[in-house]
Amino acid sequence: MEKSKILGLLLGPIAFFILINLPTELVSEKGDSVIAVAVWMLIWWITEAVSISVTALLPLLLLPILKILPIAEVGANYGSPIVFLFFGGFVMALALEKVNLHKRIALNIIRLTGTTPNKVILGFMIATASLSMWISNTASTVVMLPIALSVINLLIDDEDGFTKNDKNFALSVMLGIAFSANAGGIATVIGTPPNSVLIGLLENEYNTEISFLKWMTLGLPFSIIMVTICYVVLVKWMFPNRDLKFNASKEVIDTELEKLGPTSGKEKLVLAIFGVTVFLWIFRTLINAIFPQLGLTDTMISIFAAIALFSIPYNLKKGDFIIRWKDTSRLAWGILILFGGGLALAKGMSSSGIVDMVAAAIATSDISILLTASLLILLMLFMTELMSNVALVAVLAPVVAGIAIGLNIPILYLLIPVTIASSCAFMLPMATPPNAIVFASGYVKIAQMARVGILLNLIAVGLLILVFQFVVPMLF
């Protein structure tokens, strides 16, 4: 076992017990307890002393023992609708892989974008960002991941083995997909859940409406700029692959496509179910407006896709279905637990008043409006590395609105950049589902994601301060 892992294994609980037994309170009795749990989890997550999924189980044990939340309330987070949204997405990815559709799509993407390494990376980033504008970033990442793995295996598993340039290519593809999914969702109101949380808050509490097109006038340019920056940082700076040559030429790719043969009936059935699912995700709001009794949610649509893949027979007489339950042995169950643990920690933080206390301290301090906005953006962006961005926006957005009112500025000026900041978490696997999903691929280490992620986080903070100062006042 590596020394860093041994150190992390011991340091996590030691730091926890030190923080629990401090002679003076840092925040409050409950607040200090939640901070102690968060520090333990963070140490284990960063050092990977144990599986990150095992670390995610700590709230289920510690929050009830510390009397922060009852176990039923903590456990509910592990069965949250968000977790089932991920489950449905994973099942859809399994189906794509089982019928070999992901390989067909991967080969066609390579053929369209070109076979040079950087063009392949850029192709994946553009495709993922475009998809994330319309469906959840989780779903877009889950769909793109097996395709990316197919490309990596197809083009890297060659005679010279897995070289440094090969590893840099794999890293850039994986991180590019995650970062593009995060940034792509910013472009539209429906692209990422925090945007929807903000829109709901504005309409319900402040009688303010932001139209789909109005949001895109800000969100789309920001998304394009952020994806471009991610690409440049990954392939030109952090993980260059200057000497990498792909042995797979256009002829090889064409040959591989020929081996797949014509699109099979099973592939068409999976494509049809996927198409219906995407249609429902895109037009969910409109469908709910026409048929309010349905009350469709992204999770319901995701579970519909999973059930359909399990239950719609390809051949009824033979009892031939697209996927069977035994196929889920390959499903990333640990990642689902990871999401549940993040949600449980978020619940503990909100219930102990930590978020409110920090926000209130910023609001009551005698600092400039620009500095207040900068601190809020920084707070949101780095806290979302540890918490569900949806939960964080739900908790913090009303407080930010109150701060804006106290500072006598329009609430949109603060709320929009702070909400966008919640989708700019590039540093840790548990920060967003796309980060966690690509981490599960095995090609990315936490230290590598953190190294490039902290740079992108700081760039995003700088961009959002400019958005606050110049862009939002001009558009809204």
CA distances from 381 to 233, 285, 319, 457 (A): 19, 28, 49, 7
Q: Say how far apart CA 298 and CA 287 lie, in whole Å.
A: 12
Label residue 124 exposed, middle or buried (CB < 10 Å: 0-12, 13-18, 19+): buried
Could you give the CA distance from residue 174 to residue 435 in angstroms, rounded to a whole number?
A: 9
Task: Please report the pLDDT score of residue 162 as a whole number.
Answer: 58
Q: Examine residue 195 and state whether it is found in any structural domain, yes or no.
A: yes
- Position 420 scores a pLDDT of 94
Instruction: Report, in this order, helix, strand and coil percent for the chain, each rounded to 5.
Output: 75, 0, 25
* Rg (the chain; Cα; Å): 23
Task: Please indicate, yes or no, if residue 290 is contained in any of the structural domains.
Answer: yes
User: How far from chain centre, in Å, is Cα 453?
Assistant: 13
Give buried/exposed letters for 63-100 (b at 16+ CB in 10 A, else e).
bbebebbeeeebbebbebebbbbbbbbbbbbbbbbbbb
Beta bridge partners of 321: 313
Say if 237 falls within a structural domain.
yes
* Per-residue pLDDT at 359: 60
What's the pLDDT score for residue 154? 65
pLDDT given at position 288: 86
Q: Is residue 207 part of a domain?
A: yes
For the chain, which ranges sit under pLDDT 70?
Answer: 103, 106-107, 109-110, 115, 135-136, 154-165, 200, 204-205, 211-212, 243-253, 355-356, 358-365, 387-388, 390-391, 394-395
- Is residue 292 situated within a structural domain? yes
- Convert the pLDDT of each residue in 206-224 to its tens digit: 778 776 677 888 999 999 9
Q: What is the pLDDT of residue 153?
A: 73
**Model pTM?**
0.66
For residue 184, is it within any domain?
yes
Give 367-393 pLDDT, tens digit per residue.
788 888 898 999 888 888 876 676 677
The number of folded domains in the chain is 1
How many C-beta atoms lie closer than 10 Å to residue 386's C-beta? Answer: 20
Measured distance between the N- and C-terminal CA atoms of the chain, rounded to whole angstroms: 55
Tell me, yes or no, whether 238 lies in a domain: yes
What pLDDT is stored for residue 218 in this prediction?
Answer: 92
pLDDT of residue 391: 63
Residue 408 phi, psi (nearest 5): 65, 45
Q: Residue 320: which H helix or E strand, with range?
A: strand 320-321
Q: Which domain holds residue 206?
A: 81-330
Q: For 246, phi and psi rounded to 5 degrees?
A: -85, 125
